[in-house]
Amino acid sequence: MLFQDVVFWLLTVVAVGSALGVVLIRDLFRAALLLVAVFVAVGGYFVLLNAEFLAVVQVLIYAGAISVLIIFAVMLTRDVQQGNPPNRLQIPAVALAALLLAALVTVAVDTQWSFLPEGERQSVELVQTAAVSDISPETLEQAGAAGESAAQGVGLADLLIGRFVLPFEAVSVLLLAALIGALALVRPRPAPQDARASGAESASESAGAGAAGSEAD
């Protein structure tokens, strides 16, 4: 247990420290890099919690892809060097966030997480999400679902391709919609030989024109 405690506190120092850095540092690029540190630390939490799949997701998607997107967005933005100027809502925002944190921590600590009578509880479903392919008997025992032989040999994969197959397919449609929509929104204007584009201005110029237009009213 000692080892896990040490790791937990190490991760906590990294996660909280970097998260504070993300909010407090004015250089957006460094803030973005610190965000990656937060993502990795959270991945570490998932490992501690026995949720390896989530840890992989966290590292691949968040630390890998999302942070690339964020860093690109920072690098693409003009005037980003001004950083993150303070505004007058900062103090209320801090107070609100602290209040929310306090409330959520209280709730999580106060909750008796499994108070339903044994028959009503469906801990097998909870356990299934812990392991990707097969659930070990220890995991079952930890989750208080010992003896539920139905859960043996069933894991996230079986849920995903089994009962939840329709949401699973819907996810691919969702990704497709996101892909097509995003590309349609950011695609640079076609070259001048195309009939539509009478002025082949770059996107940044036209955005500037739009901003000027909105200032004019």
Site for other proteins in 94-113 (CB under 8 A): 103-104, 106-108, 110-113
Taking CB under 8 A as the rule, does residue 126 contact other proteins? yes
Query: From the CB of 93, what's the least distance to other proteins, in Å?
Result: 14
**Candidate segments 18-26, 30-38, 47-55, 91-99, binder of other proteins by CB under 8 A:** 47-55
**Candidate segments 17-25, 30-38, 85-93, 172-180, binder of other proteins by CB under 8 A:** 172-180
Query: From the CB of 23, what's the least distance to other proteins, in Å?
Result: 17
Let me know if 181 is exposed, middle or buried by CB neighbors in 10 A (0-12, 13-18, 19+): exposed
Let me know if 148 is exposed, middle or buried by CB neighbors in 10 A (0-12, 13-18, 19+): middle
DSSP labels, 137-153: HHHHHHTT-TT-GGGTT
| Residue type for position 171 | V
Segment 3 to 32, residues that bind other proteins, using CB under 8 A:
3-4, 7
Supply the angle between the helices 28-48 and 2-24 in degrees, to the nearest 10: 160
Query: From the CB of 209, what's the least distance to other proteins, in Å?
Result: 7
**Candidate segments 17-25, 31-39, 61-69, 90-98, binder of other proteins by CB under 8 A:** 61-69
Nearer to other proteins, 89 or 216 (CB): 216
Tell me which of 5, 102, 161, 192 binds other proteins, using CB under 8 A. 161
Query: From the CB of 118, what's the least distance to other proteins, in Å?
Result: 11
Burial 75-114, CB ≥16 within 10 A → b, else e? eeeeeeeeeeeeeeeeeeeeeeeeeeeeeeeeeeeeeeee
Segment 73 to 92, residues that bind other proteins, using CB under 8 A:
73, 75-76, 78, 81
Tell me which of 8, 90, 181, 192 binds other proteins, using CB under 8 A. 181
Q: CA dihedral defined by 196, 198, 203, 206, rounded to 10 degrees?
A: -120
**Candidate segments 17-25, 30-38, 86-94, 163-171, binder of other proteins by CB under 8 A:** 163-171
